[in-house]
Structure 1
């Protein structure tokens, strides 16, 4: 449905009673409402809700927006945002206020305190009031749901956050998560409530979603689509055998070999080539922590999730190093040629449909004919796509640059980050179709090249 019959405008204080009605209608079946206030008088509960809305309306950073019918002015949806602001240093501690509140008669008081305390702590864990945007409520009257009104309430604020390169967070129920994923958020945390002592389910989840750890213009997400479901490949086991044999040959620790195998054992449809392992990895931890503790791998994992609408992760993609088991540039062994031969053999076993090359050889040389074709072009390189033959199988090469360039060394350069993310989106899109280069890509390439020149002068 077109948006022409609706419009988004800021709320007024006098709208809070209607917003409370919409909230009640939208969340009538929410377990929190059912089990927090099971015996409360609906009229008393409504009065309390209106009071809370009116009190928060004038709080620092808070802005309410409403969707109204253009012809009648009827309010059919609303959202509550908290914009970046400086908190009042003299304000009462929110957690103390939760414990000391006057409860609505008929409520499960202990459950009320637990619920709001968990939500408060979840927000405090992730949200910096001075710099982040946060949406705590989005409610649409049931008869107007699935008409795009949620997106209407999100878009203006997200565009403002984009201009400021600011992060935005949202608190989402299970029913609302799909909308937020569509707008580029990913789940960063979860809040679990156990309602079983009150006759409900255990582990009822509310998600806290945030943007990636990089600020992205919303246009970056426009071509994102979930890739086809991958399947196993006969050569997967051979790759692990190669890595184990290679690691043992050069006396690498068993945990280091294990982590290299975990990175490489993903599906074969898309292979990501990084440069080399970091010098100070802790290989003894489990794979999830191993990835989380490495800024490069953590960034790769997050961008994979973003580029695939959450359907893939670093666990389901094959990740190779151009210099396996060789963290230092000056290490004599294994030799560069040996590392590249290993990479060649792994590529021949996997025969990937797409190779995302995030390795730039720099001053190093690569005499391996096959591997040399996949070397990345660097930041701002306008020609990123090529087709390369791997033993009779055509593989699309997406030549990018090392993620650390955008995520570690230049964490505030939005152009590098946007460019890297686009390369990942382009790579995953090749699994089903080839996207046309967007109009803004040349502009970002040019700015990125200019930035690189400035940093090397």
Structure 2
């Protein structure tokens, strides 16, 4: 099997957002942010659309040409971010202004994001529900990880389930040792990948 990959642009915004919406409807974190299923269906795509907009403006979206999967990447420099504080507030304002969880999830993940080294940040990866379990996600992100190895660049992500944590561990990511604990909700696992498949300790946030 092989997938063709291209870089998404503004014209792909709706398609990428719909792909994320379908892939994450029943994700533990999305279910915590929007506990009511009917309400989640109504506002979830607006919430995820903020991630798409940020990545289109500041990063890169790798999209399978058949629309089956997409990966959102940001190149994050070393040091404290200059304007990241505004993104969680925007997530809440755009998606669900009365729901503080829209903002809280971004603030909690931001609080543990590593700052010591420049790195590639896998903000989100989505595979359409009918194609999940076929290895498409691994195939989609492998070229970036291979480039990270060649360039000596670390990579970072937050796994939103124990299952996804296991998948990322097989790609060389290591749990940093500090979970993101959503109040009365699920855990998220920040994971760091050193170039060369993650040998060595993870950095402090």
Range of TM-score over shorter length:
0.7 to 0.9
Q: Does the aligned pair in 1 maintain the 2:71–2:122 contact within 8 Å?
A: yes
Bigger RCO of structures 1 and 2 (CA < 8 A, at least 6 apart)? 2
Find 1:11's aligned residue among 2, 8, 12.
8
Aligned to 2:103: 113
Aligned to 2:133: 146
Q: Does the aligned pair in 1 maintain the 2:96–2:102 contact within 8 Å?
A: no
- Relative to structure 1, the CA distance from residue 182 to residue 11 in structure 2 (aligned partners, 3 Å threshold; closer, same or farther) is same
Bigger radius of gyration among the two: 1
Aligned to 1:63: 60
Pairs within 5 Å for 1:19-30: 19-30=16-27
Pairs within 5 Å for 1:274-423: none
In the alignment, is residue 104 of structure 1 matched against residue 92 of structure 2?
no
- Distance in 1, matches of 2:67 and 2:63, equals 6
- Distance in 1, matches of 2:189 and 2:102, equals 18
- TM (normalized to structure 1)? 0.39
- Relative to structure 1, the CA distance from residue 54 to residue 146 in structure 2 (aligned partners, 3 Å threshold; closer, same or farther) is same
- TM (normalized to structure 2)? 0.80
State the SS of the aligned residue for 1:58. helix
Residue deviations 1:57-105 (CA, integer Å, cap 9, x gap): 112xx1110123xxxxx30000011125589x8x5x3225534752534
- Distance in 2, matches of 1:51 and 1:34, equals 18
Aligned to 1:31: 28
Aligned to 1:169: 156
- Relative to structure 1, the CA distance from residue 119 to residue 86 in structure 2 (aligned partners, 3 Å threshold; closer, same or farther) is closer
The unaligned stretches of length 5 or more in structure 1 are 69-73, 196-201, 222-298, 303-457
Aligned to 1:77: 69
- Distance in 1, matches of 2:54 and 2:120, equals 20
Find 1:205's aligned residue among 180, 187, 190.
187
Q: CA deviation at 1:163?
A: 1.3
- Relative to structure 1, the CA distance from residue 191 to residue 141 in structure 2 (aligned partners, 3 Å threshold; closer, same or farther) is same
In the alignment, is residue 193 of structure 1 matched against residue 185 of structure 2?
no
Q: Does the aligned pair in 2 maintain the 1:35–1:108 contact within 8 Å?
A: no
Q: What CA RMSD, in Å, does the superposition of the two structures yield over aligned residues? A: 3.0
- Distance in 2, matches of 1:58 and 1:133, equals 16
In the alignment, is residue 178 of structure 1 matched against residue 166 of structure 2?
yes
Q: CA deviation at 1:120?
A: 0.9
Q: Does the aligned pair in 2 maintain the 1:41–1:106 contact within 8 Å?
A: no
In the alignment, is residue 160 of structure 1 matched against residue 151 of structure 2?
no
Q: CA deviation at 1:17?
A: 1.2
State the SS of the aligned residue for 1:108. coil
Structure 1 segments (4+ residues) deviating >6 Å: none
Q: Does the aligned pair in 2 maintain the 1:36–1:107 contact within 8 Å?
A: no
- Relative to structure 1, the CA distance from residue 184 to residue 44 in structure 2 (aligned partners, 3 Å threshold; closer, same or farther) is closer
Q: Does the aligned pair in 2 maintain the 1:8–1:152 contact within 8 Å?
A: no
- Distance in 2, matches of 1:211 and 1:47, equals 30
- Relative to structure 1, the CA distance from residue 179 to residue 31 in structure 2 (aligned partners, 3 Å threshold; closer, same or farther) is closer
Find 2:119's aligned residue among 118, 132, 146.
132
Q: Does the aligned pair in 1 maintain the 2:21–2:48 contact within 8 Å?
A: no
The unaligned stretches of length 5 or more in structure 2 are none
Aligned to 1:225: none
State the SS of the aligned residue for 2:18. helix
